[in-house]
Chains A and B, each alone.
Chain A
Amino acid sequence: MSDAAGRWALEIDGLDVHYGRVHALRGLSLTVGEGEIITLLGNNGAGKTSTLATVSGVVRSTAGTVRAFGRDITKAKPWEIVGAGVVHVPEGRRIFSRLTVHENLQLGGYLVSDKAVVGRRIDEVYALLPRLAERRNQQGGNLSGGEQQMLAVGRALVAKPKLLMLDEPSMGLAPLVVTQIMKLIRQINADGTSVLLVEQNARAALKIAHRAYVVENGVITLQGAARELARDSRVVEAYLGA
């Protein structure tokens, strides 16, 4: 991969999204460098989920461009975007509660036609997340919240993402489980995957991120190194509740 094309895993430039009359994103721009963990913070309705949904092709933008690994994916279909290595773990996990853990993981390999490759990747996920291996034949709905989140991440990993986008993985989980999930994300990143982490739990997210953005009313209002933002008085006041 050439340096020029490979610098950014994701470049969002001037993104506008409308839901009917609601103007959800107003010229939002952000970048994720290759190998970085970037967190996007913000309150409910600020535009975090819209950003991810637009990148993954589920929502259409009205203006702006999205590039992944140097390639324009603004108008690409969801499956083309997954094929390009950008995988989205949606909010609320969205695992298949009536299918087994193993079947859930198989979905991640849907675009890979070689069964042996999918099998190997699933084994890698089991090695990374042994609790899923223990429960491979249980239905997704019978897992605890933390395990469900791990399953959702595991499912995405089977697709071998180059950029993993996570939408509020800490939602509704106990503190220790949140720590486990964050550790998992850090580990995935250490293995070479770029990460865009959308969170309301700013404290947890800022601990593992390299850089951070704050979105308000569909536009980025603050950005910088995660360590600095964690000390920024505006962030502390609004999101860390000090």
Chain B
Amino acid sequence: MANLTMSPARARALFDRLQQNRHLGLVGLAVALLAPFITATNYALSVMTSALLFVMLAVGLNIVVGYCGLLDLGYAAFFAIGAYVSGILATRYGWPLLATAPVVIVAAVVAGIVIGGPTLRLRSDYLAIVTLGFGEIIRITANNLTITGGPSGIYGIPGIMLLGVDLSGPVGLYYTCVVVVALAVLGAARLGRSRLGRAWRFIREDEDAAEAMGINTYRVKLAAYIGGAIWGGLAGILFGAQLSAISPPSFTFLWSALILMAVVLGGMGSTPGVVLGAIFISVLPELLREAADYRYFVFGILLIIVMIFRRQGLWPARAMERQSRRDKRKAEEHDAREAKEVVP
């Protein structure tokens, strides 16, 4: 069909296959499982656990931003809701941390509906502003309520216990996170490939056309928003378990911005990309400790360089977006040729 020369076509096929490899997730999981055998200092484990949490947040935000194209600038709010709800239940009412998960999910869904319900009728820019406000409202509310401990927050959040096994140590927590985050990544990826996931993509590409073809755009967008909220809320539980103390400054706008950055940097809508982006964003500042005071300066420069040279992200959802300008040109030429044949 296409008269492409053999070698670029082959290279492309190989690259595509590499990117779509089904075993990729297993390789990632193996790396995560084996990492502590390389280095297992408390510091390394804490960095790796944070990276996992970040992966979970980025994958959750990717449902909203990457799949559905809704710009959410207040994602840390759901993270905060999860952390506070589980923290309060665990410290004040003595619930085991894992038992708080169903309540956290309900709280996240309710928050998703409360914020998404009225705002998802808005188009992108307005939605971004409202979500930005929502993120701040949650943080400031936590700062002022007594039940959330005000500015000093909640401390003494217990570690995770499962069937009498104590997983509260750094190793136990790390492996708990590996399991939970792996399931979260898998779940989000499957959701992206489902019928609902396709509907999200149609809305992202052209909301009006999607609506004209029979998609209930409002309900489908709300589903994306609620999905993102659940992922964020569950990550909040692990966050509380890791730090054992949470307070309002843990949930500033910077968090929302960094999670969004992980999604954009990795490649919106691409699960491997977003995972990579999250690891990059969370681990890089640690690797740059050598640069001391210039750490965040270098970090920023690196981010800018990546975005200049890989605008679609480190690992874009569609690797070869511009592959065939020539296909388009060929098709147009085909039309033109046919048109000439009729005009004598």
Q: List chain A positions with a Cβ less than 8 A from chain B.
A: 56, 58, 77-79, 81-83, 87-88, 90, 94-99, 103, 106-108, 110-111, 113, 134-135, 138-139, 141-147, 155-156, 159, 173-177, 179
Query: Which one of A58, A90, A174 contacts B336 once the chains associate, using CB atoms below 8 Å?
Result: A174
Q: CB-nearest residue of chain B relative to A79?
A: B214
Q: How far is the CA of A77 from the CA of B215 in the complex (A)?
A: 10
Contact between chains at B212 and A58 (CB < 8 Å)? yes
The DSSP consensus for interface residues of chain B is helix
Q: Is B290 an interface residue (CB 8 A)?
A: no
Contact between chains at A79 and B216 (CB < 8 Å)? yes
Q: How far is the CA of A141 from the CA of B213 in the complex (A)?
A: 19
Contact between chains at A143 and B338 (CB < 8 Å)? no
Contact between chains at A142 and B318 (CB < 8 Å)? no
Q: Told that A142-B328, A179-B342 touch, could you supply 11 new A-B pairs with CB distance under 8 A?
A: A56-B212, A77-B216, A79-B215, A94-B206, A94-B212, A110-B215, A111-B214, A142-B327, A144-B328, A145-B332, A176-B338
Question: Contacts A79-B214, A90-B208, A111-B214: A143 and B201 contacting too (C-beta < 8 A)?
Answer: no
Q: CB-nearest residue of chain B relative to A93?
A: B209
Residue numbers in A under 8 Å from B213 (CB-CB): 82, 87, 107-108, 110, 155-156, 159
Residue numbers in A under 8 Å from B205 (CB-CB): 96-99
Query: Which one of A94, A95, A142, A175 contacts B208 once the chains associate, using CB atoms below 8 Å?
Result: A94
Q: How far is the CA of A217 from the CA of B331 in the complex (A)?
A: 38
Sorting the interface of chain B by its residue count into under 10, 10 to 19, 20 to 34 or 35 or more gives: 20 to 34
Complex A-B: 5 CB contacts under 8 Å: A81-B214, A96-B206, A99-B202, A139-B318, A142-B328
Q: How far is the CA of A128 from the CA of B208 in the complex (A)?
A: 26
Q: How far is the CA of A147 from the CA of B343 in the complex (A)?
A: 20
Q: How far is the CA of A103 from the CA of B212 in the complex (A)?
A: 16
Contact between chains at B339 and A176 (CB < 8 Å)? yes
Residue numbers in B under 8 Å from A83 (CB-CB): 214
Query: Which one of A87, A111, A138 contacts B327 once the chains associate, using CB atoms below 8 Å?
Result: A138
Q: CB-nearest residue of chain B relative to A115?
A: B195
Q: How far is the CA of A96 from the CA of B206 in the complex (A)?
A: 7
Question: Contacts A96-B202, A99-B205: A107 and B341 contacting too (C-beta < 8 A)?
Answer: no
Residue numbers in A under 8 Å from B293 (CB-CB): none
Q: Is B286 an interface residue (CB 8 A)?
A: no
Question: Contacts A90-B208, A94-B206, A96-B202: A82 and B214 contacting too (C-beta < 8 A)?
Answer: yes
Q: Is B321 an interface residue (CB 8 A)?
A: yes
Contact between chains at A142 and B212 (CB < 8 Å)? no
B235 shortest CB reach to chain A, Å: 30
Question: Contacts A94-B206, A143-B328: A106 and B338 contacting too (C-beta < 8 A)?
Answer: no
Q: How far is the CA of A77 from the CA of B325 in the complex (A)?
A: 38
Q: Is B324 an interface residue (CB 8 A)?
A: yes
Q: Is B22 an interface residue (CB 8 A)?
A: no
